[in-house]
């Protein structure tokens, strides 16, 4: 049996190591802390046992002895146990203590390092902890001690480099005064980096003489790291996180959970704080594929439709060759991309990802018999218009969208967002239903296209932006360009 002491990194998406993600995916039991990335557990198995054992200054506490007992209890059963910690398990994470407990019990363990906040948070603030001609050494110090007397303040004050204090927000006045008493200049630059690497990150710049007062005035709260030394004056020159187009903007994403991640990741890459509020889910329908040989046109109206079409073909032990000889049309680049994943390059992809755009693209294409692959609740604009042109049209519904239950915390976070993004009329309808019948009044509303905008107007809301092109990337661009 082996237990794994795993560092989850400082909190930002993407800073979890590959080894950490691999072990999370394999784990039977995960004992996790408060400061792990928000989506760190999304890769865990559905049947994995997830146990919170975090500590929060001034808040909920799980005693270390209880954590040790749980670690031993589950490891002794032979289960794959991951002890998941924010940052690095051996940097102020008490991982060494847990490793000793495991060793004394005769249980093998593996340590998986993580990116520690003392390096990551300053880096995200544009603050290198070492810099040629400014600092050639760095010391990491805990600011969370009972009295501070455990530290050799004279040695720290004389240290020839950068000092990085973890967990010292409530001790800033004491830290600053002790360093000044030890010989550091009151004018020494200080940077307090709050919520490092996360969308709400902010940096308070001060000196040892002013840091306590400025942090209090700014309302700085944990988690934060404090950097003392000449490099702390650099964020004004090297700040990069704040330069991202959506830095500090809170955006709620209402797409189905399976589709939301790419959009959420794109928004997060631009600095947005993303609230995942999947108002809908998709459900496959047991529909038999017709004989395809008689159709001269097959229209697929969504990425879900593309995936469901090939799932239906697979159930018949068939693949992309079944579409050979047919003109295939994809409603939008997302659908075309999904078809390419299955080996099909669409013949027609309208510039406007709506039924009217598809009709314009097919205006000069002779159509005798068409098959439209879509959701059960799709609009009838496309089949009706093709029938008016004299075509025989069959509609094949391979999936449906249904409401996804949203808890109170998610609804509250959505209502507090700066933006709510809608990627279909269904997301409008189901979010309104989840919220008690009406959409939140506070956030601005972003629509992916005309049909979604129409659904918003039916509920008395004018979209603040409409994507052009009508794609998730177009939606992101609309947010970036707003105002």
In the structure encoding, which two tokens stand for residue 41, read together?
């557990």
SS (H, E, C) 174-185: HHHHHHHHCCCC
Contact (CB, 8 A) for 276 and 264: yes
Distance, CA of 212 to CA of 356 (rounded, Å): 61
Residues in the chain: 483
- Catalytic residue, chosen from 1, 28, 39, 55, is 55
Determine whether 55 is an active site residue: yes
Q: Which residues are CB-neighbours of 191 under 8 A, at least 6 positions away?
A: 122, 125, 127, 203, 204, 205, 206, 226, 227, 232, 235
Specify which residues 299 forms β-bridges with: 329, 372
Give residues with Cβ within 8 angstroms of 167, minimum separation 6: 57, 92, 142, 143, 144, 222, 223
Name the active-site residue from 85, 88, 167, 250. 167
The residues carrying an active-site annotation are 33, 55, 167
């Amino acid at each position: 049996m082996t237990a794994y002491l795993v560092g989850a990194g400082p909190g930002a998406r993407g800073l979890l190591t590959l080894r950490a993600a691999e072990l999370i995916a394999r784990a039977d039991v995960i004992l996790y802390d408060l400061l792990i990335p928000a989506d760190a557990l999304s890769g865990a198995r559905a049947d994995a046992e997830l146990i919170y054992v975090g500590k929060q200054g001034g808040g909920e506490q799980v005693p270390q002895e209880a954590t040790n007992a749980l670690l031993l209890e589950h490891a002794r059963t032979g289960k794959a146990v991951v002890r998941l910690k924010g940052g690095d398990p051996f940097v102020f994470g008490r991982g060494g203590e847990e490793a000793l407990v495991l060793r004394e019990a005769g249980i093998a363990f593996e340590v998986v390092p993580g990116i520690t906040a003392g390096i990551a948070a300053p880096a995200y603030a544009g603050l290198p902890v070492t810099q040629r001609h400014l600092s050639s050494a760095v010391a990491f110090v805990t600011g969370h001690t009972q009295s501070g007397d455990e530290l050799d303040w004279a040695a720290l004050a004389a240290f020839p480099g950068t000092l990085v204090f973890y967990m010292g927000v409530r001790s800033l006045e004491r830290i600053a005064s002790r360093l000044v008493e030890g010989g550091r200049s009151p004018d020494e630059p200080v940077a307090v980096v709050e919520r490092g690497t996360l969308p709400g990150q902010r940096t308070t710049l001060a000196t040892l003489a002013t840091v306590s007062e400025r942090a209090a005035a700014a309302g700085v709260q944990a988690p934060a790291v404090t950097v003392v030394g000449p490099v702390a004056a650099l964020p004004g020159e090297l700040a990069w996180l704040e330069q991202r187009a959506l830095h500090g903007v809170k955006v709620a994403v209402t797409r189905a959970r399976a589709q939301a991640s790419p959009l959420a990741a794109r928004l997060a890459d631009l600095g947005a704080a993303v609230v995942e509020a999947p108002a809908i889910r998709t459900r496959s329908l047991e529909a038999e594929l017709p004989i395809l040989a008689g159709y001269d046109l097959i229209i697929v109206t969504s990425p879900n439709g593309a995936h469901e079409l090939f799932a239906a073909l697979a159930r018949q032990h068939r693949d992309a060759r079944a579409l050979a000889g047919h003109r295939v049309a994809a409603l939008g680049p997302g659908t075309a991309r999904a078809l390419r994943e299955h080996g099909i390059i669409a013949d027609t992809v309208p510039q406007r990802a709506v039924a009217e755009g598809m009709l314009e693209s097919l205006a000069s294409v002779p159509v005798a018999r068409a098959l439209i692959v879509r959701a059960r609740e799709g609009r009838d604009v496309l089949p009706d218009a093709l029938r008016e042109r004299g075509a025989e049209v069959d509609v094949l519904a391979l999936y449906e969208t249904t409401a996804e239950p949203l808890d109170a915390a998610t609804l509250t976070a959505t209502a507090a967002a700066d933006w709510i993004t809608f990627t279909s009329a269904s997301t409008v309808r189901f979010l309104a239903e989840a919220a008690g019948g009406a959409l939140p009044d506070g956030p601005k509303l972003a629509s992916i296209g005309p049909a979604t905008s129409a659904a918003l107007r039916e509920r008395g809301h004018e979209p603040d932006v409409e994507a052009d092109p009508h794609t998730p990337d177009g939606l992101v661009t609309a947010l970036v360009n707003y105002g």
